[in-house]
């Protein structure tokens, strides 16, 4: 007998966040979230996304034991402004029991019906800066703090419940030794001169902050054409600055400006925290915070988190400037491996940017969709 209960109390939210810790306790590849930060993500008083979104959180029980969870999400900016009548679902985890996954998704569908939505899609988060997709390949590769991991049976469940693939993302990596600076150094000099652009580098996080809002504006414009993009609102910017930028070594943030001092491109790289997060088990105290700070400075694996270029400067070689700046920094840090975050499989333009580095695809992930009848 499966019982589905909606999450309301602090105790229940903590159980919601901690369920995967038991589900993946024997996994070498699952990377736990920071528990306190994950709970804040679901707090309407902390996360401004709730100004434009509704979310319902559910736990599945067999008797007294938690056996699954799901978040049912409606992003009203997406529904009203884009006319995309989508019921999102995310944070979707469950034991290998089809009755459990079905009961959870039935709850998602029920909420979609109540709000006159047309289809469900997931796993996705609230916005494009959240995690996305169920892993379909790469189960034996260590995850990252910005992606979900899952058991192989997740895909089987979705297929048996008549969900069909909607979008696909790929993740890849390449050793730093693959980077041949000759592929961009000459172009870097020429492009800077041709378009009269300049680069700004940083050593202190406080120096990054005055430019953060402009960066998020550029993120909105440079990613607007991608499927299912939902813009970051002004009120969300402060939240994301606090949530993300504190985890990034400021030396890994690169901004490019035109002759009028307008930002036209950015790159954000992150140290890999995966191994440290496994070690601290999602807890910042008593020593987790210090270990994260150490990894922030010393990790030899780097994640290319976000690159954005203003539409009018795309296909004009600006990536040569970004790669040149990143290369110089990563060389000084003795970085060994470069990891790319999920990129849409049909985004050929972004894949062409990386071809000189001979990346290896290490993971694939998909979202799944089902019409609401």
| Fold that domain 2-172 belongs to in CATH | Aminopeptidase (3.40.630)
Residues in the chain predicted with pLDDT less than 50, given as ranges, are none
Q: Do domains 2-172 and 175-361 have the same CATH topology?
A: yes
For the chain, which residues make up each domain, given as ranges? 2-172, 175-361
Q: Residue 102 has what pLDDT?
A: 98
pTM: 0.94
Q: Do 366 and 133 form a contact (C-beta atoms < 8 A)?
A: yes
Tell me, what's the pLDDT at 225?
Answer: 80
pLDDT at 318: 96
In this predicted structure, what is the pLDDT of residue 227? 67
Please tell me the predicted confidence (pLDDT) of residue 226: 75
Contacts with 144 (C-beta within 8 Å, 6 or more apart), sequence order: 31, 272, 273, 274, 303, 339, 341
CATH architecture of 175-361: 3-Layer(aba) Sandwich (3.40)
């Amino acid at each position: 007998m499966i019982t589905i209960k909606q999450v309301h109390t602090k105790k229940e939210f903590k159980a919601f966040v901690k369920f995967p810790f038991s589900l993946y306790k024997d996994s070498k590849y699952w990377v736990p979230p920071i528990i306190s930060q994950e709970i804040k993500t679901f707090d309407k008083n902390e996360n401004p996304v709730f100004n434009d979104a509704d979310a319902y959180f559910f736990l599945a029980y067999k008797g007294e034991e938690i056996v699954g969870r799901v978040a049912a999400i409606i992003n009203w900016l997406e529904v009203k402004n884009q006319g995309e009548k989508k019921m999102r679902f995310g944070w979707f985890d469950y034991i290998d029991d089809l009755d459990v996954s079905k009961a959870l998704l039935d709850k998602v569908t029920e909420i979609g019906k109540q709000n006159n939505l047309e289809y469900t899609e997931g796993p996705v988060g609230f916005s494009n800066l959240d995690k996305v997709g169920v892993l379909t390949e790469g189960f034996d590769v260590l995850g990252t703090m910005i992606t979900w991991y899952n058991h192989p049976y997740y895909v089987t469940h979705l297929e048996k419940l008549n969900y069909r693939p909607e979008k696909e993302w790929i993740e890849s990596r390449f050793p730093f030794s693959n980077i041949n600076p000759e592929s961009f150094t000459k172009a870097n000099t020429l492009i800077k001169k041709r378009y009269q652009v300049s680069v700004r580098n940083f050593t202190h996080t406080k120096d990054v902050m005055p430019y953060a809002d402009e960066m998020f504006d550029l993120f909105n414009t440079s990613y607007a054409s991608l499927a299912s993009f939902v813009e970051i609102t002004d009120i969300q910017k402060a939240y994301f600055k606090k949530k993300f930028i504190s985890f990034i070594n400021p030396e890994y943030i690169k901004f490019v400006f035109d002759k009028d001092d307008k930002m036209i491109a950015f790159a954000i790289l992150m140290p890999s925290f995966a191994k440290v997060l496994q070690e601290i088990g999602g807890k910042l105290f008593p020593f987790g915070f210090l270990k994260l700070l150490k990894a922030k400075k010393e990790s030899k694996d780097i994640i290319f988190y976000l690159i954005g270029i203003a539409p009018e400067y795309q296909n004009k070689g600006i990536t040569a400037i970004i790669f040149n700046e990143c290369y110089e920094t990563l060389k000084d840090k003795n970085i060994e491996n470069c990891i790319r975050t999920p990129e849409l499989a049909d985004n050929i333009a972004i894949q062409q940017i990386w071809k000189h580095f001979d990346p290896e695809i290490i993971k694939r992930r998909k979202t799944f969709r089902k019409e609401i009848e």
